[in-house]
């Protein structure tokens, strides 16, 4: 598969965005757990952690929604 086909069919773009979001969610959760083990999370810290994880689930859901339509 050449690069043109990879990007024209949007499979490549969707997969790259999915990979970035999964990595970002994983790093955010790992950082939150590390902070939680070293000190307790305050309410704003926990809210921020939950918001980042929730926001990153939107592109992941978008990917799977469009993947099932094909």
What does the pLDDT read at residue 5? 74
Instruction: Indicate the number of domains in the chain.
Output: 1
- 37 is a domain residue: yes
- 61 is a domain residue: yes
- 5 is a domain residue: no
- 30 is a domain residue: yes
Distance from C-alpha of 31 to C-alpha of 25, rounded to nearest angstrom: 10
The domain in which residue 42 lies consists of: 14-69
- 7 is a domain residue: no
- 38 is a domain residue: yes
SS (H, E, C) the chain: CCHHHHHHCCHHHHHHHHHHHHHHHHHHHHHHHHHHHHCCCCHHHHHHHHHHHHHHHHHHHHHHHHHHHC
Q: In the numeric block, which tokens belong to residue 35?
A: 């902070």
Q: Tens digit of pLDDT for each residue in 8-66?
A: 666 777 788 888 888 888 888 888 788 878 888 788 888 887 888 788 788 778 878 87
Judge whether residue 1 has pLDDT over 70: no
Please give the model's pTM, rounded to 2 decimal places. 0.58
């Amino acid at each position: 598969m050449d690069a043109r086909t990879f990007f024209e069919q949007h499979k490549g773009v969707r997969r790259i965005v999915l990979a970035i979001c999964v990595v970002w969610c994983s790093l955010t959760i790992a950082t939150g757990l590390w902070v939680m083990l070293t000190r307790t999370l305050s309410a704003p810290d926990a809210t921020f952690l939950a918001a980042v994880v929730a926001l990153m689930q939107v592109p992941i859901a978008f990917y799977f929604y469009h993947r099932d339509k094909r």
